[in-house]
């Protein structure tokens, strides 16, 4: 007997539409079992997907993809959509090399009309689809699904401001009072107050149809009653945000009640105008650990991932910031809905008056920090690398142009294999290197991260401190930090003596140094030659880094390998090479330079190989460059 008797017999949308309500309830239970089994094994977003099971089932019964368009905000909650379309038999490969993406992906299926990975983009994209369908005379519907957390991002409101009433656009608000951390802000509080009594929509629809059937005066009478009712309601209770924007608002209803959701979606479909459908769901629904701890079960690591007893860099950063804030009342912390992920939860508890979660609003976070700094505070902005790029203009114009002492703690810097191209932190070095007056530091140990943070807070100009996920590596400590780590008067560390003349030189920064170490050891075993390594802890100003490297360049002809896991175009290797060539042309004259970095593309791991191999910066790639 099949473990999933309902799910396994679904081969088309018609099969789904033929199910009874009892069978639909069983289907929801089966899907939740699949989600828990696969996601707890492979890693991924569990709680958010458990919460949208009934909603996704209802969407696929009311609408028909790919003719109709489903656009999921962030799209981390698209797993059920994948199961119900053409990827059920491949769902076990979720987030594995060569397997299904953890987000919607246009190249993966015709049912994924728009890819995502960052928040608050859904309504803008959906508006584009709905408008293009109207211009082309298509009868398709576009459904945007977004959590209430997305509304803390300004892009949603920009899109709503541009919405037209005459589109077949349905905006589904999945209210669960969470993004990754608990939602904050005035809009989140306003949303929880919106209510409609049970049975209201059905009564409203039935009454409307009866009135419209009255000969001659039906339509006019309906409009009169509708407008009068709206006027009275607004006078007594006020209208809500969406109605003020001219959008048809429906809800809220229980988003974990498939029948209620389906009825609401059918009402929205019949309206044939831009609608907002408001649902209230339980994040982690059906799996008690996720219901009780939705923040912990928002994103899970793979079950076979190696767990290190050492604290993560995020934890070290948070602990150290608390110590420094206890000594300096000017220090404050800012996060964009990521207090747990960035290590700031302890700061939030200890210094609530100096902690600011601005929601999913990176642009606002940076300019807000600029305002704090301009008025005497010392703000620290902790944001993942992949999300900080959304605030490039604010970094350049509001912080750097005015020379304000804002500290950017760039978490998850470098390659991040599990979440794929949307979450690699490989672009920040290139765009931050363009910013005049900004210092970039790249600590790879706990002690150096603490020292970088203290120095950045004492610096009168902006600083970016970038560090990877995970923790410090013992092998790196042993090779480069055997001496006192408090020494901080130079841009980097070396693994060879000042009077040594290595046969090749590898210059790198960040955790990819481990690949350099492996390659150097293999090269020495195979050729008997020595490759020295320079590990940079400060990469900008590049003039200082170039001086440090040039002093240690052997006089003899050698191969100079500039290695990084950040994008090649405009990255550390390219800019450092430029400085070396211009400042030290004689020393560089007899050097063969190799730049090893991800090329000008998005790094997507399609095979069962390391992410460094995919990016072209593995120990094997370095060894080939040394041996050429």
DSSP 330-390: TEEEEESS-TTTTT-HHHHHH-GGGEEE--S-HHHHHHHHHHHHHTT-EEEEEEEHHHHGG
Give yes or no for a contact between 406 and 462, defined as CB atoms under 8 angstroms apart.
yes
Out of 87, 348, 390, 412, the active site residue is 390
Residue 523 sits in which domain range?
A: 474-627
Q: How confident is the model over 603-626, as a mean pLDDT?
A: 87
Give yes or no for a contact between 553 and 591, defined as CB atoms under 8 angstroms apart.
yes
d(CA 55, CA 325): 44
Q: Tokens 């207090």, residue?
A: 339
Phi, psi (rounded to 5 degrees) for 595: -100, 115
565 and 502 both lie in a single domain:
yes
| pLDDT over 70 (residue 219) | no
| pLDDT over 80 (residue 306) | no
More confident residue, 371 or 208: 371
For position 190, what pLDDT does the model report? Answer: 53
d(CA 594, CA 560): 6
Cα atoms in the 13 Å half-sphere on the side-chain side of 160: 24
CATH number of the domain enclosing 617: 3.40.50.920
450 and 564 both lie in a single domain:
no
Out of 362, 363, 472, 564, the active site residue is 362
Whole-prediction pTM: 0.85
268 and 358 both lie in a single domain:
no
Q: How confident is the model over 285-300, as a mean pLDDT?
A: 85
Q: How confident is the model over 211-228, as a mean pLDDT?
A: 65
92 and 212 both lie in a single domain:
no
The pLDDT tens digits of the residues spanning 405-427 come to: 999 999 999 998 777 788 899 99
Give yes or no for a contact between 564 and 617, defined as CB atoms under 8 angstroms apart.
yes
Give yes or no for a contact between 38 and 7, defined as CB atoms under 8 angstroms apart.
no
100 and 27 both lie in a single domain:
yes
User: What stretches of 395-541 show up as alpha helix (H) in DSSP?
Assistant: 428-433, 446-458, 474-480, 513-527
Give yes or no for a contact between 528 and 534, defined as CB atoms under 8 angstroms apart.
no
Split into its structural domains, the chain has a count of 4
488 and 581 both lie in a single domain:
yes
The pLDDT tens digits of the residues spanning 513-551 come to: 999 999 999 999 999 999 999 999 999 999 999 999 999
Domain boundary among 408, 442, 466: 466
d(CA 234, CA 179): 31
| pLDDT over 90 (residue 136) | yes
169 and 317 both lie in a single domain:
no
| pLDDT over 60 (residue 231) | no
Q: Is 302 a domain residue?
A: no
Q: Is 298 a domain residue?
A: no
Tokens of 256: 């974990």
Out of 32, 280, 283, 591, the active site residue is 283
pLDDT band for 232, please (50, 70, 90 cuts). Answer: low
Active site residue 283: yes
For position 178, what pLDDT does the model report? Answer: 52
Q: Is 359 a domain residue?
A: yes
Bridge-based pairing of strands 531-536 and 492-494 is antiparallel
Domain boundary among 444, 466, 488: 466
Torsion sign across C-alpha atoms 38, 42, 43, 49: negative
Nearest 10 degrees: CA dihedral of 287, 291, 292, 294? 120
486 and 367 both lie in a single domain:
no
Q: Is 255 a domain residue?
A: yes
Most confident region among 86-95, 148-157, 318-327, 548-557 by mean pLDDT: 318-327
Q: Is 481 a domain residue?
A: yes
Give yes or no for a contact between 386 and 418, defined as CB atoms under 8 angstroms apart.
no
Phi, psi (rounded to 5 degrees) for 77: -105, 25
Closest CA to 338 of 351, 355, 321: 355
Active site residue 390: yes
284 and 214 both lie in a single domain:
no
CATH number of the domain enclosing 443: 3.40.50.970
Closest CA to 472 of 300, 612, 314: 314
Residues 6+ apart with CB under 8 A from 441: 452, 455, 456, 463, 464, 465, 466, 537, 538, 539
For position 236, what pLDDT does the model report? Answer: 42
543 and 497 both lie in a single domain:
yes
Tokens of 168: 């077949």
Give yes or no for a contact between 545 and 539, defined as CB atoms under 8 angstroms apart.
yes
For position 180, what pLDDT does the model report? Answer: 47
| Alpha carbon distances (Å) from 518 to 198, 475, 500, 554, 622 | 65, 10, 20, 21, 9
417 and 285 both lie in a single domain:
no
123 and 272 both lie in a single domain:
yes
Give yes or no for a contact between 584 and 543, defined as CB atoms under 8 angstroms apart.
no
Cα atoms in the 13 Å half-sphere on the side-chain side of 400: 20
| pLDDT over 90 (residue 471) | yes
More confident residue, 484 or 276: 276
Active site residue 362: yes
The pLDDT tens digits of the residues spanning 340-399 come to: 999 999 999 999 999 999 999 999 999 999 999 999 999 999 999 999 999 999 999 999
Cβ contacts of 300-303, under 8 Å, gap ≥ 24: 300/39, 300/40, 300/43, 300/44, 300/45, 300/46, 301/43, 301/418, 302/41, 302/42, 302/43, 302/95, 302/418, 303/40, 303/41, 303/42, 303/43
| pLDDT over 60 (residue 238) | no
The pLDDT tens digits of the residues spanning 2-47 come to: 689 999 999 899 999 999 999 999 999 999 999 999 999 999 999 9
Task: Give the count of beta carbons closer than 10 Å to the beta carbon of residue 357.
Answer: 23
């Amino acid at each position: 007997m099949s473990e999933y008797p309902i799910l396994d017999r679904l081969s088309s949308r018609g099969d789904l539409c033929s199910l009874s309500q009892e069978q639909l309830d069983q289907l929801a239970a089966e899907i939740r079992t699949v989600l828990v089994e696969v996601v707890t094994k492979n890693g991924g977003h569990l709680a958010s997907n458990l919460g949208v099971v009934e909603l996704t089932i209802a969407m696929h019964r009311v609408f028909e993809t790919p003719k109709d368009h489903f656009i999921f905000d962030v799209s981390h909650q698209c797993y059920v959509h994948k199961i119900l379309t053409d990827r059920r038999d491949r769902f076990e490969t979720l987030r594995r090399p060569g397997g299904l993406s953890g987000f919607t992906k246009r190249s993966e299926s015709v049912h994924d009309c728009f890819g995502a990975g960052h928040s608050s983009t859904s309504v803008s994209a959906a508006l584009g689809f709905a408008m293009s369908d109207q211009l082309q005379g298509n009868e398709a519907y576009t459904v945007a699904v977004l959590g209430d957390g997305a509304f803390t991002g300004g892009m949603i409101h920009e899109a709503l401001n541009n919405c037209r009433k005459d589109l077949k656009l349905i905006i589904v608000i999945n209210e669960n009072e969470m993004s990754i951390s608990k939602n904050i802000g005035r809009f989140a509080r306003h949303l929880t107050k919106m209510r409609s009594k049970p049975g209201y929509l059905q009564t409203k629809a039935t009454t409307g149809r009866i009135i419209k059937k009255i000969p001659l005066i039906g339509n006019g009478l309906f409009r009169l009653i509708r407008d009068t009712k709206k006027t009275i309601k607004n006078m007594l209770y006020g209208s809500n945000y969406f109605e003020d924007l001219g959008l048809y608002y429906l809800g809220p209803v229980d988003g974990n009640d498939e029948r209620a959701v389906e009825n609401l979606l059918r009402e929205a479909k019949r309206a044939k105008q831009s609608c907002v459908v408001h649902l209230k769901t339980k994040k982690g629904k059906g799996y008690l650990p996720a219901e009780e701890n939705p923040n912990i079960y928002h994103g899970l690591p793979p079950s076979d991932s190696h767990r290190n007893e050492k604290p993560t860099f995020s934890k070290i950063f948070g602990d150290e910031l608390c110590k420094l804030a206890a000594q300096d009342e000017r220090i404050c912390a800012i996060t964009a809905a990521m207090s747990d992920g960035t290590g700031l939860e302890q700061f939030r508890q200890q210094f609530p008056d100096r902690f600011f979660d601005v929601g999913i609003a990176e642009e606002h976070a940076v300019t807000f920090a600029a305002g704090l700094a301009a008025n005497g505070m010392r703000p620290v902005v902790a944001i993942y690398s992949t999300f900080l790029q959304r605030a490039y203009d604010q970094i350049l114009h509001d912080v750097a142009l005015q020379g304000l002492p804002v500290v950017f703690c760039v978490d998850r810097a470098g390659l991040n294999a599990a979440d794929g191209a949307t979450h690699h932190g490989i672009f920040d070095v290139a765009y931050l290197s363009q910013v005049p007056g900004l210092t970039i530091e790249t600590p790879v140990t706990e002690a150096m991260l603490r020292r970088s943070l203290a120095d950045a807070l004492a610096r009168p100009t902006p600083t970016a401190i970038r560090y990877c996920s995970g923790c410090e590596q013992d092998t790196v400590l042993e090779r480069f930090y055997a001496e006192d780590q408090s020494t901080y008067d130079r841009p980097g560390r070396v693994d060879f003596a000042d009077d040594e003349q290595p046969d090749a030189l590898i210059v790198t920064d960040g955790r990819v140094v481990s690949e350099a170490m492996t390659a150097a050891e293999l090269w020495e075993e195979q050729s008997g030659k020595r490759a020295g390594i320079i590990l940079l802890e400060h990469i900008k100003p590049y003039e200082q880094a170039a001086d440090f490297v040039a002093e240690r360049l052997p006089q003899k002809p050698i191969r100079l390998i500039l290695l990084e896991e950040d994008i090649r175009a405009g990255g550390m290797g390219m800019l450092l090479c430029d400085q070396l060539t211009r400042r030290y042309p004689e020393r560089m004259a007899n050097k063969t330079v190799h730049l090893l970095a991800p090329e000008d593309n998005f790094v997507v791991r399609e095979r069962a190989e390391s992410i460094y191999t995919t990016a072209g910066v593995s120990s094997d790639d370095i060894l080939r460059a040394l041996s050429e």
